Amino acid sequence: MSDDTTDSNGEVELEARLAEQEEFEPPESFVEQANVSDESIYEEFEEDWPDCWERAADLLDWDEEYDTVLDDSDAPFYEWFSDGTLNASYNCIDRHVEAGRKNQAAIRWEGELEETRTYTYQDLYREVNEFAVALRDLGVEEDDVVTLYMPMVPELPIAMLACARIGAPHSVVFAGFSADALATRMNSADSEFLITCDGYYRRGDALNHKQKADEGLRDVDHEVQTVIVDRLGDELTHFLGDDAYDYDDLVDAQQGERVDPVERDAEDMLFLMYTSGTTGEPKGVKHTTGGYLSYVAWTSHAVLDVKPEDTYWCAADIGWITGHSYIVYGPLALGTTTTMYEGTPDYPDKDRLWEIVEKYAVDTLYTAPTAIRAFMKWGEKYPERHDLSSLRLLGTVGEPINPRAWKWYYKHIGSENCPVVDTWWQTETGGMMITTLPGVNTMKPGSAGPPLPGVDARVVDAEGDEVEAGEAGYLTVNRPWPGMLRTLYRNDDRFVQEYWTEYSDEDSDEWVYFPEDGAKIDDDDYITVLGRVDDVLNVSGHRLGTMEIESAIVGVPGVAEAAVVGGDHEVKGEAVYAYVITEDGYEESEELRQKIVEGVEDAIGPIARPEEVIFTPELPKTRSGKIMRRLLEDIANENDLGDTSTLRNPGVVDDIQAKVQSD
């Protein structure tokens, strides 16, 4: 028998073993070096709650020590580390310079066209100071909200830290958002300062970002001063106009200048992060300095196992909360090297991420299931081109990851040597809430894991009673935590109504946070998040979670990604419509379609049987990678699709619609 045949048989046996295996232990070599490896931490946090969160606060340097860990006298307007003062910029930069690590890389940036920039902690200290002085000269004062509308360029975290240094909260607007979204957020925050850029690259093309920013400014109802970063150089000529300044000119004019970091109360606002609301009006989520910064530092330390000597990479966008917490504030508070990448994972080829991992010898990779499903579709040949042996830990964020994608990630990226932390959290929670501790817990693919130490998360029924193991219900958080949002900007009533009224007993002051996610819990208290409670289909009176059906479909060999929506049905009320992307090497076929139907029936039951299985090369996604299920639902119901121009791939909608009509 040839070696090739032996290798082939071994591969088949490995795939079979992985498919059957439901639990995975962290490697001993990881546990031995883990920041947190003692399972008694859960009991210790429980016995010492809420003072257990002093461990998080101890990761920071405080100007004035706090008097109280938690003030719950005005619940649900909780306060953490009351009367303590600190500065986030100082904690992310100055103290590392003072500790003798000024020449360590703080940020490694990779441009889409393979340009690179490295900022040491001394470089970061210098430029953050100079830009902070420039902002003050422009009139930015403490508590002024500064809007940042920028792509993944180093000037974005520099601007965030410069704002934090002078006590001015920042409001980052994702660069992929429309001009109207920018105007809405600036008006809501009464923001009189905008930092943006001329443009950026996407798949090799230079995009004009300033044009979009200018369009948004026309709908802002007050005067605005604008700072523009020149990213594209000669690729795009731009004019500053009135009340507009060039970033480089401002920094150069302040060369060598320094500004003392402003002492901020722990409860002072660090930033606003606008997120979608059920009413259509975006919600300004308010995060504060002490609780938020301590929480993201602690979760970066305990869950992501970040160490100062690491090269760490969260492959998200700073325009979202993941980037705030786990590209900027968490990693830099711990003094590590954080990696930024401007472009897409498949430009100029589908191995771009693995090229970067190899180039910088990345220790930890934290990315989204959306990306992992794309990697699966492209095939393992791309990661196999590169040496990924530097990786020590893998993580996922943004949505639940199905078991098959988890195992692919574990095998082909982590070589079965890296724990995988599947993390559940939200913009509102500030940081991770439910996940395994990689040096402590067994991993169960598809299940996020237990609540973190000190976090009281439960799965309850409609009456608020805890469900039995194996049953589905609603996820709740029954105690406050340091990283939590404090309120919605200038809208305390909406804050209470949206998050705290569903399961709370106001008469007994028992306030319960409701994140509007469905979940299941098992006998080991591991929680599987099923998705938003509105991502539920009502098929013949049975409530079925779209995430559960999608996981069953992706569990079928040959399927890379799936999206499930409801379509109108005369008998059932709603029927299941499945849009499916095949892996490389697999073709659309009736045989595969039947296997998908059987896979859903086996996993959930005949009631979840898809009415239609539509094969498509792509799914409609926003620029942040979210699947636009609403459009797929409109296609299933033959409704008008409306505006699709904000999609990452608008042409795919017409292709899917034509496919459905032809079928």
Quickly list DSSP for 513-568.
B---EEEEE-TT--EEEEEETTSEEEETTEEEEHHHHHHHHHTSTTEEEEEEEEEE
| Mean pLDDT of the residues in the chain | 91
In the block, residue with structure tokens 């606008």:
274
**In which band, very low, low, confident or very high, does the pLDDT at 2 lie, cut at 50, 70 and 90?**
very low
**C-beta separation of 427 from 321 below 8 A:** yes
Q: Which of 83-97, 507-521, 546-560, 631-645 has the weakest average pLDDT?
A: 631-645
Q: Domain 121-261 falls in which CATH fold? A: Rossmann fold (3.40.50)
Residue 607 has pLDDT above 90, yes or no: no
Q: What is the pLDDT of residue 3?
A: 45
**pLDDT on residue 293:** 98
Given a cut of 60, whether residue 8 has pLDDT beyond it is: no
How many of the other CB atoms lie within 10 Å of CB of 50?
19
Question: How is residue 536 written in tokens?
Answer: 């539920």
Question: What's the confidence (pLDDT) of residue 234?
Answer: 85
Answer whether residue 13 shows pLDDT above 90. no
Q: In which residue ranges of the chain is CATH 3.30.300.30 found?
A: 535-662
Q: What is the pLDDT of residues 77-108, one digit of tens each?
A: 999 999 999 999 999 999 999 999 999 999 99
Nearest C-alpha neighbor of 383 from the set 362, 417, 409: 409
- C-alpha–C-alpha distance, residues 34 and 81, integer Å: 27
Residue 624 binned pLDDT confidence (cut-offs 50, 70, 90):
low
Residue scoring higher pLDDT (311 or 241): 311
* Tens digit of each residue's pLDDT (9 = 90 or more) over 468-481: 998 888 999 999 99
Kindly give, in sequence order, each residue whose CB lies less than 8 Å from that of residue 159, ignoring residues fewer than 6 positions away: 131, 146, 148, 150, 170, 195
Task: Note whether 407 and 418 are within 8 A (CB).
Answer: no
How buried is 615 (Cβ within 10 angstroms: 0-12 exposed, 13-18 middle, 19+ buried)?
Answer: buried
Please tell me the distance from the alpha carbon of residue 263 to that of residue 167, in angstroms, as a whole number. Answer: 8
Instruction: Indicate if the pLDDT at residue 409 is higher than 90.
Output: yes
Give the mean model confidence (pLDDT) for residues 444-463. Answer: 95
Whole-structure pTM value: 0.85
- Continuous segment of H or E residues that includes residue 658: helix 651-662
Residue 120 clears pLDDT 60, i.e. is over it: yes
Q: Where in the chain is the domain with CATH 3.40.50.980?
A: 121-261
pLDDT in tens, 146-183: 999 999 999 999 999 999 999 999 999 999 888 888 99
HSE-CB for 453 with a 13 A CA cutoff: 29
Is 336:306 a contact under the CB 8 Å cutoff?
A: yes
Q: Which candidate, 152, 90, 150, 147, places its Cα nearest to that of 313?
A: 152
Per-residue pLDDT band at 135 (split at 50, 70, 90): very high
| CATH code assigned to 535-662 | 3.30.300.30
